[in-house]
Amino acid sequence: CENISKKLRKKGVLSTFYHAGLTYRQRKIVERGFEKGKFTTVVTTIALGAGVDFPASTVIFENLAMGIEWLSVAEFHQMLGRAGRLGYHDKGKVYLLVEPGRKIFAGQKETEEQIAFDLLTKPIEDVDPVLDVIEEEEEILATIVAFQKVSIADDKMIFANIIGRVSPLPDNMRALRKMRMIEVEDKVIFPTKLGKAIALSFLSPAYAIRLVQEIERKRNRDFEEDFALTMAIKIQPFKSAHLAPRVHGDIVRTLKTNVSTNIFSGAILDLYSGHGWGRRSPTKMIIDTFAIWTKEFFTCKCADRPFCNCGEISLSKKLVELRKLGYSPIRITSEFSKKYNIQIYPGDLYSWLDALVHNLNAIERIAKVLNEIELQKSAKNFTKDIEKPKVQ
């Protein structure tokens, strides 16, 4: 979106860009600038549908894909709903720039014009409000933190109004107490400091307690230099890494069948392990690509390598390493394509870096509660490296 914005400015359009890679301060500058008329156009990613509320008269879809997936009907309607504001405009206008015959990757059945027709005619998908146990615990903890204290006798309806909850409330409470997220005193429920930190971080208590336990296991030993980063990445490693079209095309031609483009899919990891080729042999390009991956990403000694998550974590760390060197997301994607034959969409990388910053903030909060000062500082420093890297 940055490139499109720059081209528009060269044409005399007062344009700027907005995406998940911007800091909070930068986002506010864009929002206020648009409201005051400093910018007439904002080129944005999926962030448009994630809480941004520009008073725009028109929404233009430059394409109908988000990374390697087509937009869903719900996502499409959420974005087009930004067009037109009561009290500002008589009507909202939406334009779709569709390229007939376009596909996101080779072998895909749907073309962009077919997707456009579906988005314009199909109803929004139904939402299933039923929560599983982990989601229930997260919602209940968030409710307790929001109210600060809840009386078991007087405030039962607070929990009854949580949509989709099906488990008995006493079971949820016992689980949260066992995980040290809440305390009960004189039939009044209070969130603990840890519970507050977890709720503010939008983590599920069940997953967060595993992070806490991993930190506590390291207490009597020194933390690795990148321990905070590793923990944050484990919450959500980068998975949207795809084979470069030239390598994917080689594999499809060799096997004479279509395969997934995602390098962490079972099919590609099978091929990487030497299985699935039958009597056919991989080309030199494929062998060379897999050899680079072995050197850079699949370096662990796990028994189930490469099917463990070590490859995802190593690749994620490489993305952060390049970001720390001052590389923009667009430059990082270009570097991965040239060096590793891996295709990454800038929009996916923007979104992941934004999520990684939030996860680092979560590690920082947990470390503060556990009085792990060095870990807290480390998480804060990694956040700065991502948001404001030092250009070499």
Q: Are 373 and 239 in the same domain? A: yes
Given a cut of 60, whether residue 50 has pLDDT beyond it is: no
pLDDT of residue 307: 93
pLDDT of residue 20: 67
Which of the two residues, 121 and 108, has the higher pLDDT score? 121
Task: Give the pLDDT band (50/70/90) at residue 279.
Answer: confident
Asked if 79 and 48 touch (Cβ cutoff 8 Å), the reply is yes
Given a cut of 90, whether residue 161 has pLDDT beyond it is: no
Helices 205-217/227-235 angle, 10° precision: 160
Q: What percent of the chain shows pLDDT beyond 70?
A: 94
Q: Are 150 and 279 in the same domain? A: no
pLDDT digits 0-9 by tens, 120-153: 999 887 776 777 888 889 999 999 999 998 887 7
Q: Are 371 and 245 in the same domain? A: yes
Q: Would residue 228 count as lying in a domain?
A: no
| Residue showing tokens 């990374």 | 67
Q: Are 15 and 74 in the same domain? A: yes
Q: Would residue 223 count as lying in a domain?
A: no
Tell me which of 121, 154, 173 is where a domain ends: 121
- Indicate the average pLDDT of the chain: 88
Domain boundaries, position 193: 133-206
3-state helix, strand, coil in the chain (%, to 5): 50, 10, 40
Q: Are 192 and 240 in the same domain? A: no
Residue 259 identity (one-letter amino acid): V
Which of the two residues, 344 and 388, has the higher pLDDT score? 344
Q: Are 172 and 293 in the same domain? A: no
Q: Would residue 44 count as lying in a domain?
A: yes
Region 281-289 average pLDDT: 94
Beta partners for residue 131, in sequence order: none
Which CATH number goes with the domain that contains 30?
A: 3.40.50.300
Q: Would residue 112 count as lying in a domain?
A: yes
pLDDT of residue 215: 92
Which CATH number goes with the domain that contains 164?
A: 1.10.10
CA pair distance 226, 32, nearest whole angstrom: 37
* Domain count within the chain: 3
CA pair distance 59, 61, nearest whole angstrom: 7
- Give 307's DSSP letter: S
Q: Are 24 and 113 in the same domain? A: yes
| Omega before 123 within 30 of 0, i.e. cis | no
Q: Are 254 and 373 in the same domain? A: yes
Q: Are 80 and 154 in the same domain? A: no
Q: Are 287 and 152 in the same domain? A: no
Asked if 88 and 55 touch (Cβ cutoff 8 Å), the reply is yes
Pairing mode, strands 182-185 and 93-96: unpaired
Cα dist from 87 to 27, 30, 48, 93, whole Å: 24, 21, 21, 15
Which of the two residues, 75 and 191, has the higher pLDDT score? 191
Tell me which of 60, 94, 121 is where a domain ends: 121
Q: Are 242 and 317 in the same domain? A: yes
Given a cut of 70, whether residue 48 has pLDDT beyond it is: no
Asked if 354 and 387 touch (Cβ cutoff 8 Å), the reply is no
The enclosing H or E element of 242 equals strand 242-243
**Cα 202–chain centre separation:** 13
Read off the tokens for 299.
Answer: 């370096």
CA pair distance 74, 95, nearest whole angstrom: 17
Pairing mode, strands 150-151 and 93-96: unpaired
Q: Would residue 52 count as lying in a domain?
A: yes
Given a cut of 90, whether residue 53 has pLDDT beyond it is: no
| Residue showing tokens 């060799």 | 254
Given a cut of 80, whether residue 351 has pLDDT beyond it is: yes
Q: Would residue 291 count as lying in a domain?
A: yes
| Omega before 245 within 30 of 0, i.e. cis | no
Q: Specify whether the backbone of 142 is left (phi greater than 0), alpha (psi in -120 to 50) or beta.
A: alpha
pLDDT of residue 258: 85
Given a cut of 90, whether residue 314 has pLDDT beyond it is: yes
Strands (DSSP E) found in 10-100: 15-18, 41-44, 58-61, 65-66, 69-70, 93-96
pLDDT of residue 133: 87
Cα dist from 382 to 76, 232, 321, 360, 364, whole Å: 34, 10, 10, 8, 10
